[in-house]
Structures are given as structure tokens and as C-alpha cells.
């Protein structure tokens, strides 16, 4: 399937307006053509269209966006679409609307996860396995849910990955021009049990959301070895699903298939508001898990995933593995895992991710790509077979098995590694650093800033970029400063303005960028890192080691003067 660069709004209708079709139950199906007007701000961000639930619940808001997706599917007739979400508030209602719109727009078949549930990586897996034309995933990822929380819609293309910018821009143009959407008049389709239903001429297949994904995991990892690890009596794990979508996946795979004792998975029932929590697996929002791993009777291994199941956090007993280090460890040990035993073609990381994986790539003689923030930039590299593993500092890790980052996959990768090595996580990490050196790393987020001063701060910094080289901050001198731009090596597309990079004479680095996923004000992200080759200095607190760099970041960007903030809201 190809995607028109200029996705004009629907010109080819599959049925005459207002037509009646008869579904297999003999019910007549009426299609309504509803007159509408464009909404501002329906441009998809880093990861789909993400807004407050109250915004999505305005009449026509969801419908306008969904209608704007159909024209980018060139061969709608006969097409299969995958549909599911993370189960957050409004998921169930939105799914029924999308089903009726898909039927009215000539989609032949929709596979929906039971109960409207599909994790983001599982949706990617199902799109690929069933050769679907694409998928619609309802999620605002790790953002809070509930009536006051966030909702989101992501569109994935036939390779299973997030739509590239050419497609999201085409969708956005459609949202600017929309005058009408098409929706079938039909009662809700029952989604509680696997089965097949007719919605007019469209078939709705309700599928087990876990089955295809679990089968893929079983092909990649040594389930027998992991089973033996859980049975050894010398290994305990705690997986915190944060009341989000990975609960059913983790129960089925970790407890039922791999023999982890019941209770290994906590908060495993998806709730519409994630139990009032913030389903983001990091040191702040997964505090309960972190505390459990730092107690005297801590389990050996801890992990968590986010709202839609694509993020992961890895912990050992009294040990936190940064996502950047996790990517490097997986790359260094991939040959021990059945699905990757032939070695890696290459690796990729987003620009703000630490350079730990670069060191592994250099040692193994494989390519390492540096991409802008956001998983969509890995798609071409994976499709072209240039990379096997990729990851981001924001708790995202994945491989060419799907086209999304994959939380439970990363956890299973670690479990397989621990089953082979039979050593504690902290020892494994220390050994990794001894071989490759340690990249001390932290990210400081300043959330919910007033947008104007936040943008002004970065614009001003941007203007001063040319004057920074040679300037001294504390004990370091700036050796290089730029605004990151990326030319995709596969299709030649160029993405500019991807974050300000400042490098120092000792190779330490600061990156500044504004978040593209927030729904409240602006969020400034400051990424800080410093390399330490000497194993004698590998056991220190990153905030202490990076204190000089943190101070330099404040001074360079004049964070306090612009935002009034004296400290970040979230440190990871």
C-alpha cells in the first residue's frame, strides 16, 4: 500500500449517500452523512492526537478526526483494519463510533481486541500478522485517564508502525477541510467475547487480544529457560501493570505460561482511570514498585509498563536500570536470545538517549543511528533491515519483531538474559559498565509551564547557539552546539528543530527540547549525561555526578528567569 502525499479528503465514496445495505442478520443499515465543520488543533503530535477527554467528547470531534484517516487508506475496499485501545475512559464509546464509521466508509473487516483492548505493541503485531491495511489505537499512552484525564487516537500503517509524518500531515490537512463524515446507524457491537459479527457489509471479528502477541513472544524467547528460572526457587519477580493494559498480557504470559507464582503481577486489572494513578513506569510514578525493590526483602527483578503497554521500566534488587543502559545491555547480549542469536544488523536510539548503546555498536562493528525523538523515526530503519534493536531514554525499547516499542518484550528479554546468566541485575549492569564504561544519565522535566515563556526560552537559546562554543560553565567548556536535524537515510526526508544539543570538552552533553505529547501547557525536557570510563567511579549517584552539568543547563537556558521554576517537576 502506498500513501498519497497530498491526502485530499475522501473523494471516492463506496456507496451512494444515505444508501441502505443489509447486514447478514437481515437488518437494513442506514448510513448517515453528517455535516460538520473543522476543529482547530487536530494535528497529530509525537504520538497521535492526544487531548483531554472533554475535548474528545465534544460533538463531532472524534468523528472528524476518524473520517480524516480513511482517505489515506488507498485501497479501502476489501481492507482489514485493526482496532483496540488501552481501556481508558471513553475507549468503549469511541470504539463503537469508529466501527460504525469504518462500516460506512467501506472497510471490509475490522479485528477488534476483546473488550476493546489491545496494547500498542500487540496492535502492531496483529496488523502485521493479519496483513491489515492499518490500525487505530485508542490511547494517550502514559497520560492519566478518567473523565478529567486524557484520551488519544493513533493511526498505524500496514507495517504495524506509527504513521510517518507525510501521513499524519495528510490526515491533518483533511481535518482542516472536512465538511461531512459518514457513519452507519447501528446498535453497539458486542465485544465481550471472541466471535464474528456483521455491521452492514463489514465483518467485525472480536479477537483474543493476547493470543497473537504471546505466540510471537514464544518464538523470540526461550520460554523453557525462563520457566526454569521461575521454578528454581531462587528467583522472585514483581511486575506492576499500573492498572493499565499490560495486566492481561502479563497474567497470561508471566504467570500462566512461564510459571511465575500468582501475585507476581500486581495492579493487573485494567481500570478506566488506572486507579487514579499516572500509568508511567518511571521512578516517580511507579514509586510503589521502586520502594518494593529497595526493601530488605526485595524480589530479584522488578518491571512495569505504561498505559498502553509500550514502555518498560527495569529494576533489580536495589538497582534501577536506566532505559539507555537497558538498550545497551540488550544489544551487548542479544546473541544469547533465540530470536536474536544471529546477531544484530544495527541499532538505533533517539538523539536524547544516552550514548551507551553507541559504545556497544562500536565494539561489535555494527551501525548505530541517531534519530529524532519518537518511535516513528525507527520505522524506515527497521523496514529496510538496517537495525534490529532500537530504543529511547523515555522507557521505550523494541526490535524489528513489531513496529512499536514494546514493554513486555523488554521484560521478557531481560528475563531470558537472567535465565541464561543466572546473576543479579546489579552485577550484570556493573559488568557491562566495566566493559563499556558508564554513561551517567538523567532527565529533568519541567511540566505544565506557561507555553509562551517556554517557547521564548528555547527561541532565545536558539539565537545564542552560535555564540556558545568556547564559553565556560563551571569546569567545562562548550565544544559544540546545534539544533538537531535528521535526514532519514532511507527516504531522504528531513526533520529539523528536533532539540538543542550542547556538547562540552569532556564529551558531557546537555539536550533541551519541548515535549510533543503533553496536553497541559508546555513541558521542557533537559537531558544530561557524562561518560565515566573508570570502574572505580561507577557506583555513584547520578544526580551528584551530574550536578555541575545540571547547574550549567540552568545557566545556559536561563530556566529560572524564563519559567520561574527553581527545580524540575519530574526527575528520571
**Smallest distance, Å, CB 229 to ligand G1P?**
30
Which stretch of DSSP H or E encloses residue 473? strand 472-473
- 310 vs 400, which CB is nearer to Zn ion? 310
Q: Is 392 near Zn ion (CB under 5 A)?
A: no
- Cα gap 11→71, rounded to integer Å: 8
Q: Is 354 in the site for ligand G1P (CB under 6 A)?
A: no
Residue 525 binds which entry of ligand G1P, Zn ion, none, CB below 5-8 Å type-dependent: ligand G1P
Of residues 138-157, those binding Zn ion (CB under 5 A): 141
277 binds, among Zn ion, ligand G1P, none (CB under 5 to 8 A by kind): none
- The H-or-E segment that residue 336 falls in is none
Taking CB within 5 to 8 Å according to partner kind, which of ligand G1P, Zn ion, none is near residue 67? none
Binding residue count for ligand G1P, defined by CB under 6 A: 14
**Which residue of 222, 306, 325, 358 would you call a contact of Zn ion, by CB under 5 A?**
306
| Whether 362 contacts 328, CB under 8 Å | no
Q: For Zn ion, which stretch binds (CB under 5 A), given 297-305, 310-318, 343-351, 427-435? A: 310-318
Q: How far is the CB of 518 from ligand G1P (least distance, A)?
A: 6
Phi, psi (deg, nearest 5) at residue 542: -55, -35
Instruction: State the nearest-atom distance from the C-beta of 496 to ligand G1P, in Å.
Output: 16
CA distances in angstroms from 442 to 191, 195, 394, 406, 569, listed in the order given: 43, 47, 11, 22, 13
Evaluated on CA atoms 260, 262, 265, 269, the torsion sign reads positive
47, 141, 394, 399: which is the annotated catalytic residue? 141
Using CA atoms, how far apart are residues 10 and 60, in angstroms rounded to an integer? 17
CA–CA gap between residue 418 and residue 266 (Å, rounded): 21
306 binding partner (options ligand G1P, Zn ion, none; Cβ < 5 to 8 Å by kind): Zn ion
Q: Are 431 and 444 in contact (CB under 8 A)?
A: no
User: Given the complex with ligand G1P, which of 106 and 323 has the nearer CB atom?
Assistant: 323
Instruction: For residue 394, state whether it binds ligand G1P (rule: CB under 6 A).
Output: yes
CA nearest to 344, candidates 321, 365, 374: 365
Shortest Å distance, C-beta 47 to ligand G1P: 4
> Hey, CA dihedral for 389, 392, 398, 404, is it positive or negative?
negative
Q: Are 267 and 250 in contact (CB under 8 A)?
A: no
Element (H, E) at 462: helix 451-468
What strands lie across the sheet with 265-266, from one edge to the other?
A: 265-266, 237-240, 301-305, 312-316, 319-321
Q: Which stretch binds ligand G1P (CB under 6 A): 208-216, 291-299, 369-377, 481-489?
A: 369-377
Q: Is 141 a catalytic residue?
A: yes
Binding marks (x or -) toward ligand G1P, 96..135, rule CB under 6 A? ----------------------------------------
Chain residues in the site for Zn ion (CB under 5 A): 141, 306, 308, 310
Tell me which residues touch ligand G1P (CB under 6 A).
46-47, 141, 350, 373-375, 392, 394, 396, 515-517, 525
Active-site residues, by number, are: 141
Amino acid at each position: 500500500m502506498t500513501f498519497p502525499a497530498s491526502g485530499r479528503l475522501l473523494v471516492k465514496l463506496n456507496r451512494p449517500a444515505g444508501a441502505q445495505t443489509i447486514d447478514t442478520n437481515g437488518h437494513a443499515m442506514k448510513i448517515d452523512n453528517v455535516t460538520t465543520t473543522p476543529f482547530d488543533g487536530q494535528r497529530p503530535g509525537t504520538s497521535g492526537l492526544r487531548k483531554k477527554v472533554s475535548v474528545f467528547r465534544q460533538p463531532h470531534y472524534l468523528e472528524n478526526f476518524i473520517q480524516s484517516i480513511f482517505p489515506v487508506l488507498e485501497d479501502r475496499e476489501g481492507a482489514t483494519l485493526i482496532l483496540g485501545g488501552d481501556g481508558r475512559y471513553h475507549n468503549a464509546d469511541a470504539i463503537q463510533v469508529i466501527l460504525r464509521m469504518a462500516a460506512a466508509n467501506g472497510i471490509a473487516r475490522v479485528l477488534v481486541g476483546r473488550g476493546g483492548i489491545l496494547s500498542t505493541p500487540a496492535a502492531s503485531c496483529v496488523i502485521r500478522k493479519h496483513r491489515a491495511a492499518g490500525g487505530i489505537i485508542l490511547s494517550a499512552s502514559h497520560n492519566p485517564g478518567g473523565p478529567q484525564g486524557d484520551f488519544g487516537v493513533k493511526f498505524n500503517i500496514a507495517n504495524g508502525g506509527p504513521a510517518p509524518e507525510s501521513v499524519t500531515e495528510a490526515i491533518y490537512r483533511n481535518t482542516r477541510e472536512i465538511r461531512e463524515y459518514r457513519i452507519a446507524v447501528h446498535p453497539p457491537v458486542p465485544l465481550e467475547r471472541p466471535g464474528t459479527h456483521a455491521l452492514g457489509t463489514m465483518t467485525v471479528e472480536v479477537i483474543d487480544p493476547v493470543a497473537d502477541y504471546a505466540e510471537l513472544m514464544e518464538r523470540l524467547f526461550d520460554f523453557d529457560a525462563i520457566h526454569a528460572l521461575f521454578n528454581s526457587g531462587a528467583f522472585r519477580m514483581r511486575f506492576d501493570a499500573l492498572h493499565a493494559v499490560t495486566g492481561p498480557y502479563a497474567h497470561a504470559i508471566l504467570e500462566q505460561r512461564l510459571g511465575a507464582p500468582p501475585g507476581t503481577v500486581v495492579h493487573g486489572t485494567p481500570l478506566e482511570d488506572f486507579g487514579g494513578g499516572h500509568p508511567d513506569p518511571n521512578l516517580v510514578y511507579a514509586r510503589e514498585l521502586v520502594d518494593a525493590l529497595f526493601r530488605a526483602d526485595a524480589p530479584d527483578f522488578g518491571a512495569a509498563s505504561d498505559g498502553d503497554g509500550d514502555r518498560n521500566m527495569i529494576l533489580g534488587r536495589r538497582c534501577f536500570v536506566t532505559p539507555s543502559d537497558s538498550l545497551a545491555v540488550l544489544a551487548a547480549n542479544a546473541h544469547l536470545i533465540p530470536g536474536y542469536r544471529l546477531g544484530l544488523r544495527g541499532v538505533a536510539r533517539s538523539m536524547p538517549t544516552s550514548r551507551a548503546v553507541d559504545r556497544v555498536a562500536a565494539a561489535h562493528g555494527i551501525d548505530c543511528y541517531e534519530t529524532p525523538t519518537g518511535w516513528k523515526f525507527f520505522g524506515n530503519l527497521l523496514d529496510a533491515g538496517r537495525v534490529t534493536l532500537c530504543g529511547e531514554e523515555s522507557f521505550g525499547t523494541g526490535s524489528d519483531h513489531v513496529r512499536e516499542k514494546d514493554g513486555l518484550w523488554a521484560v521478557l528479554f531481560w528475563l531470558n538474559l537472567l535465565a541464561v546468566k543466572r546473576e543479579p541485575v546489579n552485577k550484570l549492569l556493573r559488568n557491562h559498565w566495566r566493559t563499556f564504561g558508564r554513561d551517567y544519565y538523567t532527565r529533568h522535566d519541567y511540566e505544565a509551564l506557561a507555553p509562551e515563556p517556554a517557547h521564548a526560552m528555547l527561541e532565545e537559546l536558539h539565537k545564542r547557539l552560535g555564540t556558545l562554543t568556547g564559553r565556560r560553565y563551571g569546569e567545562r567548556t562548550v565544544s559544540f552546539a546545534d539544533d538537531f536535524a535528521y535526514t532519514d537515510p532511507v527516504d531522504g526526508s528531513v526533520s529539523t528543530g528536533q532539540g538543542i544539543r550542547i556538547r562540552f570538552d569532556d564529551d558531557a552533553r546537555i539536550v533541551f527540547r519541548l515535549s510533543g505529547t503533553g496536553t497541559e501547557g508546555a513541558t521542557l525536557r533537559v537531558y544530561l549525561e557524562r561518560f565515566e570510563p573508570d570502574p572505580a567511579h561507577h557506583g555513584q549517584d547520578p544526580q551528584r555526578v551530574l550536578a555541575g552539568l545540571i547547574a550549567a543547563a540552568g545557566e545556559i537556558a536561563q530556566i529560572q528567569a524564563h519559567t520561574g521554576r527553581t527545580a524540575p517537576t519530574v526527575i528520571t
